Amino acid sequence: MPMPTAKPLTNVSTLQAGVRRAEPMVWLSAGAVVFALLVLFGLLSLLATRGLTHFWPQPLLLLQSVESGPQTQLGVILDQEPAGLQGLNRILLHRGAEDFFDSPLVWIDEAGLSDRRAPVNALAIEREGQGPIFGFALNVKGSEQSQALGDLSPDAQVAIIEDATENLALSPLSGSFLQVRLASGLIVEIPLSAIRTAFAPNAMNLPEKATHFLSAIGRFLSESPRRSNIQGGVFPAILGTVVLVILMALIVSPLGVLAAIYLQEYAQRGPLTRLVRIAVNNLAGVPSIVYGVFGLGFFVYAVGGSLDSLLFEDRLPAPTLGTPGMLWSALTMALLTLPVVIVSTEEGLARVPSSLREGSLALGATRAETLWHVVLPAASPAVLTGLILAVARATGEVAPLLLVGVAKYAPGLPVSGEFPYVHLDRQFMHLGFSVYDLGFQSTHIETVEGLVFATALLLVVIALLLNIAAVLLRSRLRNAFKPQEAV
């Protein structure tokens, strides 16, 4: 009987060999991780590109159009899109000076342009309570002196304007103003007290643009908002978001840990315990606006109204605690994230080996001492995991806060140097609500689109920083209680 001949060996590449040896779920899981990372980096890249561009000085273009008679416009291009089947493009130009025009935005057909240039002496002037003005500086006038700017270089014009706004001889009390000619030929007068900054973007070199970029970001992070939040900074919103998350974490952590300890260590196994666990898991899927309605009815009206009747009766009918504020917002967000902390902590307690408990009890420790000194330290990474998830959800939630404490503009900060230093009864500003307000309540969304992306990017960065801090702490605790290898 002839012996079967062996098949000749074929050269198999390392990649093919790995694919053949690996299980399909391994490759599927790796693909899911790569896809998630790509989505995350794509989101951050989009927010960074669209948001940081808002602070970079954009060129001012002078456009001469012949449509419906000769027209001259000066401004910043915000968008460009096809106008029709002929392949002609339309330009969305932000021309500023909205108090002198019907609209700060205008669509211009590129086919109707007879001239397009970037004059070096064009200035962008940001005002205190109104939108920017794009034009050409003519004079700085005061009650006692006047200086012509038309023949000076752009840098000299900007320097004189900045000095004039700070010079006591040309103070706002003397009625001093800056005379500017718009592209349409209209001459307007801007009070020096209303000028925040002035710069000539077309005359800037790269280092000057970078300096302006960093200065604009610094003002965005440190100043208060102006003009319905579409100008100025977001410092009150940053402070409100951070204080809310910290208060929420201080409230939800002990409550969630104690509830998980009771369910895992003390509660008897039975239908009632299973029912409680099912209820906790279902609470994690309840829409967040439902928690906002509950917080408004229970915390604000019931608890706050009762405290007003007991402690602040002399101030009624004006509410003191029976009104939306930081305390009720923190309690509502703690209730919203409580199921996450309970489930994570309970799973961590269940993973602690029973031998640790038995060894501690055998050495004479009580059950409470065993929990405090043995079980909880071993389960602390799981507790912090739940806290990380809670912080991530609370940072971005907006719907409940609309009912229990957030405000479009809060005149007072939740933290100040006045006693009691943390004002829990005050309303506050929040980055998530600022994104919603800018994106859906602005008259001209195109003019604040970059600010929306910048605020969203800042919100993501704050959430990442809070989560990174918790992850680092969890890693240290995990290493501290990691079993040591025998020598």
Q: Average pLDDT of 193-214? A: 92
Domain 235-480: state its class.
mainly alpha
For the cut 70, the answer to whether the pLDDT of residue 311 exceeds it is yes
Q: What is the pLDDT of residues 26-65, one digit of tens each?
A: 788 888 999 999 998 999 999 999 999 999 999 999 998 8
* Helix H or strand E encompassing 178: strand 177-181
Which residues contact residue 306 at a Cβ distance below 8 angstroms, ignoring those fewer than 6 apart?
none
Instruction: Determine the pLDDT at residue 487.
Output: 37
Which pair of tokens denotes residue 261? 């300890």
Other CB atoms within a 10 A radius of the CB of residue 142 amount to: 17
Confidence of residue 259 (pLDDT cuts 50, 70, 90): very high
Which residues contact residue 130 at a Cβ distance below 8 angstroms, ignoring those fewer than 6 apart?
98, 99, 194, 227
**Contact between 338 and 295 (Cβ < 8 Å):** no
Which pair of tokens denotes residue 286? 């309840």
- What's the Cα-to-Cα distance from 282 to each of 246, 269, 287, 332, rounded to whole Å? 25, 19, 11, 17
**Angle (deg, nearest 10), helices 326-350 and 271-283:** 130
Paired strand residues for 62: 74, 117
Q: What CA–CA distance (Å, rounded) separates 381 from 479?
A: 10
Q: What is the pLDDT of residues 371-417, one digit of tens each?
A: 988 888 888 888 888 888 888 888 888 999 999 989 888 888 888 88
Confidence of residue 216 (pLDDT cuts 50, 70, 90): very high
**Both ends of the chain: CA-CA distance in Å?**
60
For the cut 90, the answer to whether the pLDDT of residue 453 exceeds it is yes
Confidence of residue 423 (pLDDT cuts 50, 70, 90): confident
Region at 254 (left for phi over 0; alpha for psi -120 to 50; beta for the rest): alpha
pLDDT > 70 fraction of the chain, expressed in percent and rounded: 89
Helices and strands per DSSP (H, E), number in the chain: 15, 13
Query: What is the average pLDDT value for the chain, to the nearest integer?
Result: 85
Q: Average pLDDT of 130-149? A: 83
Q: Which residue has the higher pLDDT, 138 or 114?
A: 138
107: three-class secondary structure by DSSP = strand
Instruction: Determine the pLDDT at residue 168.
Output: 45
Q: Where are the domains of the chain?
A: 61-117, 124-204, 235-480
* Helix H or strand E encompassing 415: none
Lowest-confidence segment of 167-176, 262-271, 420-429 by average pLDDT = 167-176
Q: What CA–CA distance (Å, rounded) separates 200 from 124?
A: 6
What is the distance, to the nearest Å, from the Cα of residue 402 to the centroid of all Cα atoms in its chain? 16
